[in-house]
Amino acid sequence: MILLNNFRIRKLEIEFIDPRYIAHLRRLNCFEFVESVTLGINNSLLVGKSIFDYWKNLSSRTIKVHSSSSSSILHPSVKNIQFYCACNKISWLFNLTDYFLKRRFDTLEFGNKFLSGIDSVWNFGDKLVKLIKRFKHVKIVLKDELSHGITGYFFKNMIFIWQIKDTEIEFDVKSSLKKLEDDQNRLFIPEREQTPEGFAEEIFKLIFLKMKCLSVMCERNCTKPSIRFRGLFAKLVDKMTNLEALEVSMKIFSGLKEVLFFVNRLSIGINNLKFVNCGR
């Protein structure tokens, strides 16, 4: 039945395959119409290493990886790659960048787990820049908890983009505000919320032009975010002129005046706007 309807199969998801049954699965060889392959988090390395060898007629354009894999997923047909694992799980890919021409691939997407594990990747910044240059378009999803220091957060995670000229980059940021502890309040220095010293204003603007999606929620115990966050937040969103989707918790604002100030600064390009916690 599968062989008769193989033209309907567009997606192939592999969560786990017992190596004992690999030989039987090879006989299927009916995936020539598959456009997207997903290798799940429980997928064995055995499958990941030779997925295109098992089915010779498999020539999908998109690969989605949830766990460590190997260079053999980079079949000549592959143009789009999505990683949902930490960056230290794809060291093999960083080591291969010199073998590919710039803009060899179409799109690259990093899930919100990607930036975890940075400390275990030597010279991560340079490796990331070199990898990104092999793609025409890159999307990076960031997900973190914040209490203050929003400017420094963007600076730390996005500073690398000034080195990239020919690749289109976009950021999807999902942040959750948490309550600022008393000792953190005492240690807070207002200047830390400003543009880091030596950080050119042009680069600062470039970072926010790359922002396409932004979500700012509040944890349950965060009933009144710090005024130092609220005051700067509206000004930063004002710089995100290419923003397309925005989701904001009403807990961020202290009153109607702040809400109006924020709304009046929103980009006219936003086509998805959502306010939550409106009944706070």
The token duo for 173 is 């940021």
**Higher pLDDT pick, 249 / 1:** 249
How far, in whole angstroms, is CA 148 from its chain's centroid?
21
Distance CA 241, CA 245 (A): 11
Let me know if 40 is exposed, middle or buried by CB neighbors in 10 A (0-12, 13-18, 19+): middle
Q: Per-residue pLDDT averaged across 107-136, rounded?
A: 90
Share of the chain above pLDDT 70, in %: 80
> Can you give 91-105 as a three-state secondary structure string?
HHHHCCHHHCCCCCE
Measure the N-to-C terminal CA separation of the chain; round to a whole number of Å: 55
> How many CB atoms neighbour CB 256 within 10 A?
8
pLDDT in tens, 208-255: 888 999 998 888 777 666 666 666 778 888 889 999 999 999 888 888
Can you tell me the distance from the alpha carbon of 13 to that of 26, in angstroms, rounded to the nearest whole number? 15
Average the pLDDT over each of 13-27, 187-201, 210-224 and give the range with the smallest value: 187-201
Decide: pTM greater than 0.85. Answer: no
Collapsing DSSP to helix, strand or coil, 9 comes out as coil
Query: What distance in Å separates the CA atoms of residue 239 and residue 160, rounded to the nearest whole number?
Result: 19
CB contact at 8 A, 106 and 76: no
Residue 68: band (very low, low, confident or very high) from pLDDT cuts 50, 70, 90: low
Give the tokens for residue 268. 């006219």
| Residue labelled with tokens 């349950």 | 220
pLDDT at 200 over 60: no
Cβ-based neighbours of 238, under 8 Å, separated by 6 or more: 265
pLDDT tens-digit profile of 270-279? 999 999 988 7
Total residues found in the chain within this entry: 280
Please give the domain boundaries of the chain with CATH numbers for all domains: 79-276 (3.80.10)
Task: Using the predicted structure, report yes or no on whether residue 67 has a pLDDT greater than 80.
Answer: no
